[in-house]
Amino acid sequence: MTSVSTDDISGMGPLVARLSRGGQRLRQADRTHPWALDTAVVVLVFLLFCLPDLIHGGVDDGDSPRRFKLAFTDLPVAGMLVLQAGLVVPLLWRRRKPAVAFGVIAAVFVVQWSLGAALRADIALFVALYSLALHGRLRQLSYACGAVAVAMALVAVRVSSAVSVGDALFFLLSTATAAVALGLMVRIRRAQLAGLRERATRLEIERDQRSRLATATERTRVAREMHDIVGHNLSVIITLADAGAYATDIQPARGKEALLLIGDTGRQALGELRRVLGVLREAGGGPTGGPELSPQPGILDLGALCATVRAAGLEVVYRTSGDVDALDSGVQLTVYRIVQEALTNTLKHAAPDTRVHLAILVEDSRLTIRVQDTGSDTSPGPPNEEGHGLVGMRERAALYGGDVSAGPTAGGGWSVEAVLDLTPGSGGDR
């Protein structure tokens, strides 16, 4: 048994790489100048198979046995050239019109053997058959195989005086089968490579689409958080500032208290903004090597939220029902943001003496949030037009299979009701 050394194996790497680069350059040149390769094939066939016949006078040269010479007819040079041209020249369009090229070559082949002549240029028939298997239609290939079988039978009969019909048919049909098999193998391989390239391109497109979708989702999430934080706290600050300016001349102590509340609200808003923006930083991008994180607000923070709204001049009545502390952090954050947005809208549009009733009810797998005020001096928005706040609340509720409804009440106030589905697996991707 012959052993292969490590040096032989390691030396195959650069060789394979050079062959691969050479094949790539050849394919590139073929795409740029497609006629060059076809012409090169014709020239090569002429030099290897046509020229020897012209020099030696056909395949029945002086070295052939006598019985082999007697099986063929001698052709003049002019006739030989005509037949060789009919066999070789159609190879120029073997890739663009493989069926036409094969048909012309097969017809010339049959005429040649009907005259009893044998030429080395007959190899063109197998080249055309290979090209048809590679570039043509499979239905055309089946017809071509039948035509080749008939042609091979004609050749076997013509050489029966020198070679038995069975041996001749075996050799000729084996050669034709090899040409077809090689063409189909290359065709299948090219189809596989094309499929892999298409799949790679499709995966790249899908990856880019997922990236863009994730970016858009994250932007929406951050915009929603920023809207909730900035909108609520600015509304509170504006209300406190107006109340403080009014109370400064009448009750300076209340004006000072309003200023202190404005400072507390601003610091709270700044802390929440830092938390939201901190998660957008890359690891190691900040001075401490990571984003500054703090717990997201939840049910327990609603008391402080109501206190801030009360300080702004509204009366808030807050109650809960059910085991609200057992809710997961995602549900609690959703509840907090919906309540925050609802109270912010009330703070923007409510009269100074407005009372707000806030209720959070947990019943089995259902959570209900109700925010109802006793009156407002303006409507939350023009008819049939929804602000970003209500859209944001509905987006948050939809994450848990719920919905939000809002509208005026019979007493002249405004009501917001959100229902969330707490069934495991009912929420979307969060």
**Confidence at residue 12, expressed as pLDDT on a 0 to 100 scale:** 54
Whether the pLDDT of residue 108 is over 90: the answer is yes
Secondary structure (DSSP) of 313-352: T-EEEEEEES-GGGS-HHHHHHHHHHHHHHHHHHHHHB-T
Task: Give dist(CA 360, CA 69) in Å, integer.
Answer: 107
Q: What's the sign of the alpha-carbon dihedral 189, 124, 44, 29?
A: negative
**Confidence at residue 367, expressed as pLDDT on a 0 to 100 scale:** 92
Q: Which residue has the higher pLDDT, 257 or 44?
A: 44
**Confidence at residue 282, expressed as pLDDT on a 0 to 100 scale:** 45
**Confidence at residue 58, expressed as pLDDT on a 0 to 100 scale:** 59
**Confidence at residue 286, expressed as pLDDT on a 0 to 100 scale:** 47
**Confidence at residue 9, expressed as pLDDT on a 0 to 100 scale:** 44
Q: What is the pLDDT of residues 219-246, one digit of tens each?
A: 777 777 777 777 677 777 777 777 777 6
Whether the pLDDT of residue 10 is over 80: the answer is no
Confidence at 294, pLDDT banded by 50, 70, 90: low
Q: What is the pLDDT of residues 15-55, one digit of tens each?
A: 767 776 776 777 777 777 778 888 888 899 889 988 888 88
Whether the pLDDT of residue 100 is over 90: the answer is yes
**Confidence at residue 342, expressed as pLDDT on a 0 to 100 scale:** 87
Give the amino acid at 351: A
Q: What is the pLDDT of residues 115-128, one digit of tens each?
A: 888 888 899 999 99
Report the pLDDT averaged over residues 101-120: 90
CB 74 within 8 A of CB 120: no
Name which of 25-34, 334-343, 374-383 the model is least confident about.
Answer: 374-383
Whether the pLDDT of residue 278 is over 60: the answer is yes
Confidence at 429, pLDDT banded by 50, 70, 90: very low
Task: Give dist(CA 191, CA 36) in Å, integer.
Answer: 24
CB 183 within 8 A of CB 129: yes
Confidence at 401, pLDDT banded by 50, 70, 90: confident
Whether the pLDDT of residue 165 is over 70: the answer is yes
- Percent of the chain with pLDDT strictly greater than 70: 80
Report the pLDDT averaged over residues 347-373: 86
Q: Which residue has the tokens 């994450």?
A: 399
Q: Which residue has the higher pLDDT, 365 or 217?
A: 365
The residue among 307, 319, 313, 311 whose CA lies nearest residue 355 is 313
Please give the structure tokens belonging to residue 52.
């020897």
Q: Which residues contact 301 (CB under 8 A, 6 or more apart)?
A: 336
- Percent of the chain with pLDDT strictly greater than 90: 20
The residue among 296, 306, 302, 336 whose CA lies nearest residue 420 is 336
Beta bridge partners of 408: 414
Query: In 89-135, where does DSSP find H-type helix?
Result: 98-114, 123-135
Task: Give dist(CA 277, CA 281) in Å, integer.
Answer: 7
Report the pLDDT averaged over residues 66-93: 79
Task: Give dist(CA 395, CA 402) in Å, integer.
Answer: 9
Q: What average pLDDT is seen over the chain?
A: 78
Report the pLDDT averaged over residues 170-181: 92
**Confidence at residue 132, expressed as pLDDT on a 0 to 100 scale:** 93
Angle, helix 388-398 to helix 165-250, in steps of 10 degrees? 130
Whether the pLDDT of residue 151 is over 50: the answer is yes
Confidence at 2, pLDDT banded by 50, 70, 90: very low
Report the pLDDT averaged over residues 85-91: 91
